[in-house]
């Protein structure tokens, strides 16, 4: 008997926006909150990852209203962290800022506050001490996060940022921290750009998934040569060397079913019109990542 099941509409599917795609606002850095929400929703994307500074520009009540009106999910708020300073006024101010960030995360209905640890304090070579202070800071914040229903998502950053941006450098190290507090308060971010090179990646993603610690999966690509400012070295998925099939399969096998953010720091992409960037992001995601979710 000949099957009467209609052929899958492959062409239509390949152009549809994947329901788990989230546009991290950093990808359209120069768009204000209202514009970011509008162009994201208009593209058929259903989720967005927000940053604190554009919220602050309009004020939290307005931000909450704009987000509700957009109909978008908010996959995360970026960012807390930067708490490697030794005890003193700078450290206390950073911890207070993180408490405000936790409150904002809850207010906008995002499940996750992304934490970037911070680099070595100016003039310091004490990497071990800086890492201990990150642990201690998370310890001070974990109860606040738990009470607010917010997950503090530790993002290990690529080791090339260890001195000036984040002393948390591997997924295993982030998990060593998160496991001290439990997945109801602390999780980890798996960002392909930061972890793709890690020989322990498969084992650590599995470990993160088994414990329920994967709070966010972020994707963008790595390509060489790096630009003069290595902070801006990120590319659309598919434009570099990262094996999104392999890493997405690991994350999926680890049980992660949440939104997948595309977060790209790249001057040329920032300089392009936001709507074009969102369309290109959705297409790149559809081709390089979505088939493996």
Is residue 126 a contact point for a copy of itself (CB under 8 A)? yes
Q: What angle do CA 44, 269, 276 make, to 5 degrees?
A: 35
Place of tokens 């963008």: 220
CB 53 → a copy of itself: shortest distance, Å? 22
Is residue 203 a contact point for a copy of itself (CB under 8 A)? no
Place of tokens 């957009």: 70
Closest-CA residue to 128 (of 155, 168, 80):
168
Helix axes 127-148, 89-107, angle to 10 degrees: 40
Is residue 275 a contact point for a copy of itself (CB under 8 A)? no
State the sign of the Cα–Cα–Cα–Cα dihedral 254, 19, 54, 223. Answer: positive
CB 39 → a copy of itself: shortest distance, Å? 30
**Which residues ranging from 173 to 202 are in contact with a copy of itself (CB under 8 A)?**
173, 176, 196-200
Q: What angle do CA 51, 57, 59 make, to 5 degrees?
A: 95
Is residue 26 a contact point for a copy of itself (CB under 8 A)? no
Closest-CA residue to 264 (of 280, 244, 245):
280
Q: Which stretch binds a copy of itself (CB under 8 A): 43-51, 77-85, 170-178, 211-219?
A: 170-178
CB 92 → a copy of itself: shortest distance, Å? 25
Nearer to a copy of itself, 135 or 146 (CB): 135
Instruction: Mention every residue, 6+ apart, whose C-beta is less than 8 A from residue 42.
Output: 275
Is residue 279 a contact point for a copy of itself (CB under 8 A)? no
Q: Which stretch binds a copy of itself (CB under 8 A): 85-93, 140-148, 225-233, 270-278?
A: 225-233
Helix (H, G, I), strand (E, B) or coil at 269: helix
Task: Give the residues lining the site for a copy of itself (CB under 8 A).
Answer: 120, 124-128, 131, 158-160, 162-164, 169-170, 172-173, 176, 196-200, 222-226, 228-230, 240-243, 246
């Amino acid at each position: 008997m000949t099957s009467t099941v209609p052929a899958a509409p492959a062409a239509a599917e390949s152009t549809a926006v994947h329901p788990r795609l989230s546009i991290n606002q950093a990808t359209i850095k120069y768009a204000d909150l209202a514009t970011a929400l509008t162009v994201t929703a208009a593209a058929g994307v259903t989720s967005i990852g927000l940053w604190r500074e554009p919220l602050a520009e309009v004020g939290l009540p307005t931000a909450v209203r704009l987000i509700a009106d957009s109909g978008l999910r908010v996959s995360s708020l970026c960012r807390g962290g930067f708490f490697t300073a030794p005890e003193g006024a700078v450290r206390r101010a950073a911890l207070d800022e993180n408490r405000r960030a936790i409150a904002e995360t809850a207010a906008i209905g995002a499940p996750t506050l992304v934490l970037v640890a911070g680099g070595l304090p100016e003039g310091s070579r004490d990497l071990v001490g800086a890492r201990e202070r990150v642990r201690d800071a998370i310890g001070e914040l974990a109860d606040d996060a738990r009470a607010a229903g917010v997950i503090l998502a530790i993002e290990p950053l690529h080791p090339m940022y260890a001195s000036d941006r984040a002393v948390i450098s591997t997924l295993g190290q982030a998990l060593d921290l998160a496991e001290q507090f439990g997945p109801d308060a602390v999780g980890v971010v798996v960002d392909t750009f930061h972890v793709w090179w890690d020989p322990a990646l498969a084992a650590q993603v599995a470990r993160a998934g088994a414990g329920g610690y994967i709070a966010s999966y972020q994707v963008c690509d790595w390509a060489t040569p790096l630009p003069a400012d290595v902070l801006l070295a990120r590319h659309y998925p598919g434009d570099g060397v990262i094996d999104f099939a392999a890493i997405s399969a690991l994350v999926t096998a680890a049980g992660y079913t949440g939104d997948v953010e595309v977060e790209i720091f790249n001057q040329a992409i920032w300089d392009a019109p936001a709507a074009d960037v969102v369309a290109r992001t959705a297409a790149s995601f559809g081709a390089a990542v979505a088939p493996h979710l």
